[in-house]
Amino acid sequence: MSQGVRLSQSERRNDSCIEAHPALENRRISVPSVPPFHVIISQQRRFWLFPRVVIRCLPFFVLLVCATTGLSTTTFPLQGGTTSLSTTTTTATASTSLSASPTNPQSPVINTHGLPIKHHLPSKPTTASSETSSTAKVSSTESASQTSSSSTSTTPSSSKPEPTGNTNLIPPNNNNNNNEEEEEEEIQTNDVEEDEDSEDKDDEKMNVVDDQKFKERIQSSIRTVQNWETVEWLKDCRSIIPWDELKNETGPYSRPEEDRMIADDSNALFLQRLCRWFPKFMTWVNAPPCVKCGCKECEMKTVRGPETEEEKEGNAKRVEVYYCPECKENTTTFPRYNNARKLLETRKGRCGEYSNLFGLFCRAAGFETRLVLDLSDHLWTEVRIGDNWIMADSCEGIIDKPSMYEYGWGKDGLCYMIAIASDHVVDVSPRYSRKFLTDDFQTRRRTHTTSENATAHILRELNQNLQRNLPKAALDELDRRRRLEDAELQICKQSTEWTAQEKYGRGRISGSLAWKRRRQEDGQKGAGSEGDKSNAREVAGFEIEYFMPPWTDELSLCIRPKPLGRHDGIVVGGTACAIGEADSISVVVVDEKCLGCILQSKSFLTWEDTKEFVSKLPPHRIVLMNGKCEGGSKTSSAGFERLGGWIGTEKYISESGIAFIGQVDAHPDWVYCSSLEDCSTDGYEIVLKANATLPELVMKTERCARPPKVAGRLPEMAMPMKTQLLANDEQKRLAFTSFSETAKSRYAGYTTRPGAPVYLLDTQSYPVSRLDTASLNVSAKDDVWNTFLYLPKPLVPDDDNGIQSATKNASDMPAFDVPLETTFFNNSLGAKLISTSMEYLPTHQALHNARLVGYYFSAHWCGPCRSFTPMLAEMYAHLKEERPTHGLEIVFVSGDRDASSFSQYYRTMPWLAVPFEHLQAVKGALNATYGVRGIPSLVILDAVSGQVVASANETRQSVAMACRGGERQIESLLDSWLQRVPQETTEILSMLELSCNELEPRIPSNHEKANPYLLLETKKDQPMDTAARIKEFFEKLVAEGSDPTAAAAKAIGLVAEEQKAGNKLEPGPLDGMAVRMGPISPARTVEHYLERAVDWNSVVSVKESLETAMKYLKNAEKEPWAPKFRSFKLSNKVADRITKLEGGLGLLETLGFDIFATNQDFKAVIPIAMDLEATNQRLAQLVEKLNSR
């Protein structure tokens, strides 16, 4: 076949029409179908020996010939090139036919891999314009190399400096892949005259997909992020951060009401304040003023590369040149610096500079930080809070609002959003869009990469480079996070609309109005305002509402009109339990029999829903109510007559909301009812005297559930740590129940999972939550958190006996069937295979539910085969035991010469085989297709698509190494193969898994709503409204013989007297039980928790735990920006000195530490805002106090 023109690397462009494997390098150039003397092509591939200038000019000469003669075009492949030039044609027949090779007009073009390449369709006829203009419109981009769907820069970049930063893992390049946004601006150029129509044509020709450019843009951003690890820069940033202002609850960046929902997480709260401060630290530049006259009407003239030493040192890939209408000169430049240290000096820019420098500040503060590169021209950061990555937009001062760009700003061009850290990259696009699976969204993605497989391949390659030298522990943690995030992103892909809770409807703040409108980011197309709740649920509640706080002889009931955190608007027995949704009424129901047990916690958006709920409550339940409805939902007090002491008038309800503590169908002497305005700012507390004896409690099992915090672990005396890690659920349950009998009800229950300690629960462990779908999808069915709570007997099913141990079986595997590519495997292997029992099975049945299919080419006469087969059989047997379905299936393709040898050899194998009589029909084709040149050979295929996952060249060695490494290495090898399946396969299987989770959820459904202990089965008769009551009296008086007119007047009077007297209720069983009423008691001090820890443990063990905490703080002081020193697992050997201590974690929390849960373990965190030196000094004082004892 004829060969095309070979271009230099700088001239190459990718061809968007090639849909073969992304690794294919063939590209095409269109040349006219003219006599051979116009184009001489050497069959010996010597064409590139022509002078370089001739080669470079030839394509444009061809285009000129086509345009002037109307010749049709023919497609030739370019070997190794990445540029495709398509010519125009005025021939009608050419415009409706596919191009063909020059030697055979009907034959397809074939690449070097022997695969056909799809042809170009000739472009539509165009008309050249002779009109010229003194001004040309030039698209200005924040990144000179950033490719858009409409134009691509052709300016050479060889003169521009290399990017700075750590390039050990990512090689430098000369492309201007500046990690900054694109802008659409019109630049007036008076010194260059161009033919606009010609320029448009060139742009169209160069508008091609280039996977390499996509990769290089990410590499450039990786270097930016790696520079954030420069110690000197981190120190400089820490010296600039206004720590005192950001920590101050009344400081300029504190908004208590707005931040209440994140106030329970000190790191999230600090990040929000840091994000508010940063726009005040920086200066947004729409256009710089003239450096000569100060004119503020300068317009961008052009863009150039760096010229001065300052521009080069600041790594300014682009320098914007501005024209001053007053001075009539190009007087002002605006270098777009990529060097974050330089940005600390200039403190100005747009979102490229903002995201770069803010990422450095986040790292300096101590956050794990990623840069999010939005190819639709924006950048922001993601920060790791707990076990999740949340967005932080420093331009807007907003965190954790991923819907802001699509829903709030109304951005229509979202396509790729790549999160970039120093040790990994990930495509997080589904997190920021609910249109990911739409045709438009996928079409936009194809303007940057050739396919989803190409994207996955690029990201996988980058991750391998970044993680090449990381230790095993770091790789394991990255893999855990990857699987968790992949599951979360897969859920986002399936979502087609933002929920009411997710919607953030405000348009963009940063930038001028004209600039925002030009970019269509002013929010005019948003679906609603920030407060749009038209689709919000009318009722919200915790998944697991009930909770019995550790029992004491007194019960505290608290109401806070201005909560400090999300849930502390209502506190029962020290447990913050309000739902806490904004503009809603939080209602908590407490058991009066098992005093203090929280039965229900709900939130209502309307008073009508609240009244309906209260009407169904059993008599004498304690009710705490706090909040108001959005917009002052109006209603009368009728319907709340069952609440003794309710004095809520329309003013209370509609205008300011209400705070209430009382009982249903009872009016005790301690009832409290007030408007939120009249309630003390410090809140109101009622303390009730409890019964002297502990109520009867039994343990309830909550499968796939986990608390937000724990109080510690089961002490050594109850069960040693090593035993806890190995014990089964029955053994752990027995150990806890034995311990709780001696612990005097200090704990509300426990939580655990296989391989984890028995963690104890206290008042901080509410609410217990079901594991989210992402956590379930990355965990084995028998390797999830289960929680066990002490509750009143009516709440616990009779058949609740805890978690019963069971051996692993096929039911533990995914419930969905793998969609096998039946036609492919039937054609490849034949219609039937044989099993080890020599039974003939249909191919699709034999390969049922295999994720991977291996073709094993081997023969009995081959010595290496006889050595390799037992090793492969060992691997196969282990994988079948661990993954009986959704794993690997192997098919033996024999090279034996006779049926007897085949049968003798196959008896040593545990897998399937192609029948000997069918081998002649399939073996030759299989050998040729998969390049089998010797045996033994193993080829691994994806069962869904039939594509090669691992070739014969690599599998033999990898299997041998895995078998030598043991079972763990064998499983890792299988996992590595599964990660290499096509992206489409991953998408299909994830969708199937999500569908099965919805149809057959692994989480048991709540059956408590039907429990009569919680709600009455039928409504209690409700008081009639005023009109109905008057009618009732009227009919009664008329029946007694009264005159209708007189009866009507008397009926009205009777109802008035009845309403005046109010609904009279009995005092109830808890009347006179209050021991204190008034403002909420002050919080307990560190000294209180220290004394409690000493009472429960020895002085020596308490001292040891405090000294351990000091060691963690000293490590954090050495490198306060290092996240690895700011969190530690509670189960690790060192931290266990604190965890095993009763009251140890409570003491730690009063000192400022945080506790949070991951899908793997619980962690203690040193908050970013903690004063490390002051806390260390405080710990030293406590240790000294213990030494004096």
Q: Which residues are catalytic?
A: 351, 378, 393
Task: Give the SS3 label for residue 563.
Answer: coil
Structure tokens belonging to residue 359: 């990422």
**Residue 937 · residue 951 · CB < 8 Å:** no
Q: What are the distances in angstroms from CA 817 to CA 845, 853, 1046, 1055, 1076?
A: 12, 15, 79, 68, 62
CA dist 565 and 260 (Å) reads 5
What is the CA angle 534-540-541, rounded to 5? 170
**Residue 832 · residue 841 · CB < 8 Å:** yes
Q: In what helix (H) or strand (E) does residue 880 lie, and over which residues does it extend?
A: helix 863-882
Partners of residue 539 on adjacent β-strands? 604
The interaxial angle of helices 1099-1118 and 1086-1096, nearest 10 deg, is 130
What is the CA angle 1132-1136-1137, rounded to 5? 140
Give CA 211 to chain center in angstroms: 25
**Residue 153 · residue 144 · CB < 8 Å:** yes
Sheet order of strands, 575-576 included: 575-576, 570-572, 554-559, 684-689, 1074-1078
Structure tokens belonging to residue 886: 């959704």
**Which of these, 78, 81, 86, lies nearest to 10 by C-alpha position?**
81
**Residue 45 · residue 53 · CB < 8 Å:** no
Q: Counting beta carbons within 10 angstroms of the beta carbon of residue 647, is it exposed (0 to 12), middle (13 to 18) or buried (19 or more)?
A: middle
* Plot region of 704 (φ>0 → left; ψ -120 to 50 → alpha; else → beta): left
**Residue 420 · residue 370 · CB < 8 Å:** yes
Q: What are phi and psi of 659, to 5 degrees?
A: -120, 125
Contacts 24+ apart (CB under 8 A), 99-102: 99/30, 99/73, 99/74, 99/75, 100/74, 100/75, 101/1, 101/2, 101/74, 101/75, 101/76, 102/2, 102/33, 102/41, 102/74, 102/76
Q: Please report the beta strands in 57-96, taking only residues with DSSP state E, as ranges in sequence order.
A: 73-78
CA dist 84 and 362 (Å) reads 43
Structure tokens belonging to residue 873: 């059989």
DSSP label at 122? P
Q: What are the distances in angstroms from CA 1122 to CA 364, 1167, 1168?
A: 8, 12, 11
Dihedral, 1152, 1157, 1162, 1167 alpha carbons, nearest 10: -30
**Which of these, 432, 317, 305, 454, lies nearest to 375 by C-alpha position?**
432
Tokens 């202990």 map to which residue?
A: 1013
CA dist 277 and 1169 (Å) reads 15
27-32 and 73-78: which strand pairing? Answer: antiparallel
CA dist 1147 and 1162 (Å) reads 17
Structure tokens belonging to residue 15: 């061809």
Contacts of 344 (CB under 8 A, 6+ apart): 233, 236, 237, 240, 357
What is the CA angle 402-405-411, rounded to 5? 150
